[in-house]
Structure 1
């Protein structure tokens, strides 16, 4: 990882005190993450109506939904690296503004090309927010809260996407999909105002350097966390994402299956917060990850078994999603411990985001392929348990620097001491 430069950039006006936690800034950034994640759950919930209005075939609909993952998978590390020059605070602002414009443009779209352009804008805004918020959270959180805040960040995805999946269908029934899109734009604009008020535009701006980019690839800790996150994302989305279709096959209605899927997604959030609390109280990062992996390995068998009653499969899915939430909270805390405040901070979160996006793209097809080629149920569960085991191995071999979330990195600020590259 690149060294933390001392005095490489001048503090900008509005920079926060690195010794204290700005809870207003933390709330604004968490809200930005939730709004960004809502673009995923909201799009999935609105898709049936959009297919009817625009005549989308299944292939086009799949591309419409996967735009966000494709952007993250294709350019996460590059966008994160370049974002460090722009300033993480500015990147969050631009990301939220892009979501506002894209939502309003989507509401006005009367053709398929216009709808797809708006979706690309939403995806770009989402990626900009989720790349900039984690390193910025390490800046606005004081040393005693940095582990707590970094771990809690993982809740943004289940909260935002889950709430959108629950709220968008009734909103569409009330005001139409165009009205729901305008409402989402208003929500994003409200969060943008909070960010403008509380979040500094940047503490230190640094020119994107090749050394900073390569530093992320040279850090064993960042690479292990990236692979672990990709494996986690692959198995989680394969289980939770394919669950509604499996429940429909068990006789549940489409509406009921969608509701169950949203609830299962949402219960991941409390475990993210629980993991953050445990880390804040001094629990070893390695053991938090291992506990989550053990729970996933046990509960996944009940989710994937087509012979079980629907109630048991749903209960297993809720348990699976809950215990799984421990893993991302610990991985985000580990990433903050090794990258926050370095020239590689943007590239590091970009690399992890890229790994997660690749896992999301590959996980569901892998499980479906196994089910088609071998058998549904036990064979699929065995593959998922193997992925879980690899995440656990990553936690065990993670270098000490990546496991010392109790020794958080200093926030970006002028004159901070140089730190040797973590192993």
Structure 2
């Protein structure tokens, strides 16, 4: 393929010679998100065994679950900021090392307070890994398939949760609860040497003026005969750039969308099993309902992400949330039939949670290189707050006398609001300009 006289960096990403490196980035980042999802789910799977072994009530684990999400919130916001200062690759390696080490230390905790500390530190590493993986994948994905590729990579997170359940089922009865955390620590540690082959983002290296490292990455992309003109970053901090150049309102709307999207997602994940049990499906049926919700979410993310690559992403995601609202409302009347409930949960996962997962690519495309990791981390942090409040909101509503059907209708309203805010965010954001311009070396 001939390089145009004045191609953008996106043109270079479409070259066949860059495909092996792009595949490596997507694969390793997908493995990281899978391990992230595995470790996030592991504490819920180990909690019943820990409760019996330590002789503590199950209610005591509320703080353990909550502090893990709080640590993840800290990681997404603070470590995401470091990704724009020290690089996406370095942040990803450090975050994986942190949650791997803390996972291995978790079995040494002999009390609930010690477990709280271990899960908080683990959460910081888990939270830091996601924005780094999303940003790096986005900056190496060809533009015509960026939404699909980032979505495919992000599907590793729910897949990791499913994998944790499959691994824990035979492991915990035979080797005890500690074995889940040993697996959750050993696997990412074993991955770290392989992750050293990951390249740094060329856009980041250009902004930092690290031309020697940039040339090495371009050589791996089969673009060693290309020079890239330096475009200096604006003299603002990455945080300030989230609100500069006409992005202030869009940033707030994006945060609002993530807040609503994760609030409804976590509310569904926590309350769908209870509704399924109430419908007479039993424990196996409750697990199947959660499985159909997650499988639907993965399928929805991939399909909607592919459509978003051909249409306006914010419109596709907005329509997905609207259709998800209809499906969530359907949960209110499907509760009387377990068969109908399984169908509706899969459709709900496809549109409501699938749209939420597509937001990862939307966030990455919303900001330019100097503030992309910070922007992704901050948006995901807003989402984490919604994820923490979602299950709590469901419990409060149920405790005040609202039926489960009413709770689902309220959740459907949140999906409608998410559709409105993401479309408005897209309309208010300035059109991204190419940061990098390449010229054939003469």
- Asked if TM exceeds 0.5, the reply is yes
1:348 aligns with 2:369: no
Aligned to 2:135: 135
Aligned to 1:264: 293
TM-score, normalised by the number of residues in structure 2: 0.80
* Cα deviation digits, residues 304-326 of structure 1 (max 9, x gap): 44851222223211221122244
302-311 vs 24-33, greater mean Cα deviation: 302-311
Query: Which runs of structure 2 are paired with 1:13-412 in the superposition (5 Å)?
Result: 20-21=18-19, 22-74=22-74, 76-200=76-200, 203-204=204-205, 211-218=237-244, 219=247, 220-254=249-283, 256-280=285-309, 282-305=310-333, 308-341=336-369, 343-400=370-427
> How far apart are the structure 2 equivalents of 1:310 and 1:85?
51
- Unaligned regions of 5+ residues in structure 2, if any? 1-11, 209-232
Residue 340 of structure 1: how far off its partner (Å): 4.1
> How far apart are the structure 2 equivalents of 1:57 and 1:103?
23
Q: Is the 8 A contact 1:45 1:165 kept in 2?
A: yes
> Structure 1 residues 209, 266: CA separation in 2 closer, same or farther (over 3 Å shift)?
farther
> How far apart are the structure 2 equivalents of 1:320 and 1:131?
25
> Structure 1 residues 369, 178: CA separation in 2 closer, same or farther (over 3 Å shift)?
closer
Higher relative contact order by CA 8 Å / sep ≥ 6: 1 or 2?
1
Residue 113 of structure 1: how far off its partner (Å): 4.0
> Structure 1 residues 303, 338: CA separation in 2 closer, same or farther (over 3 Å shift)?
same
> How far apart are the structure 2 equivalents of 1:248 and 1:223?
38
130-139 vs 64-73, greater mean Cα deviation: 64-73
Residue 92 of structure 1: how far off its partner (Å): 0.8
Q: Is the 8 A contact 2:80 2:374 kept in 1?
A: yes
How many residues are treated as equivalent by the alignment? 394
- Unaligned regions of 5+ residues in structure 1, if any? 1-16, 418-423
Residue 42 of structure 1: how far off its partner (Å): 1.7
> Structure 1 residues 62, 209: CA separation in 2 closer, same or farther (over 3 Å shift)?
farther
Residue 56 of structure 1: how far off its partner (Å): 3.6
Q: Is the 8 A contact 2:99 2:121 kept in 1?
A: yes
> How far apart are the structure 1 equivalents of 2:381 and 2:136?
18
> How far apart are the structure 1 equivalents of 2:36 and 2:384?
15
Structure number, greater radius of gyration: 2
* Cα deviation digits, residues 122-152 of structure 1 (max 9, x gap): 2121011012111111222234443332333
> How far apart are the structure 1 equivalents of 2:274 and 2:199?
41
> Structure 1 residues 268, 108: CA separation in 2 closer, same or farther (over 3 Å shift)?
same
> How far apart are the structure 2 equivalents of 1:241 and 1:314?
15
> Structure 1 residues 399, 258: CA separation in 2 closer, same or farther (over 3 Å shift)?
closer
Q: Is the 8 A contact 2:84 2:238 kept in 1?
A: no
RMSD value over aligned CA atoms? 3.0
Q: Is the 8 A contact 1:138 1:340 kept in 2?
A: no
* Cα deviation digits, residues 53-86 of structure 1 (max 9, x gap): 2334344301211223212445643332133222
> How far apart are the structure 1 equivalents of 2:184 and 2:132?
21
TM-score, normalised by the number of residues in structure 1: 0.83
Residue 356 of structure 1: how far off its partner (Å): 0.8
> How far apart are the structure 2 equivalents of 1:364 and 1:112?
21
Q: Is the 8 A contact 2:238 2:374 kept in 1?
A: yes
Aligned to 2:9: none
> How far apart are the structure 1 equivalents of 2:185 and 2:238?
35
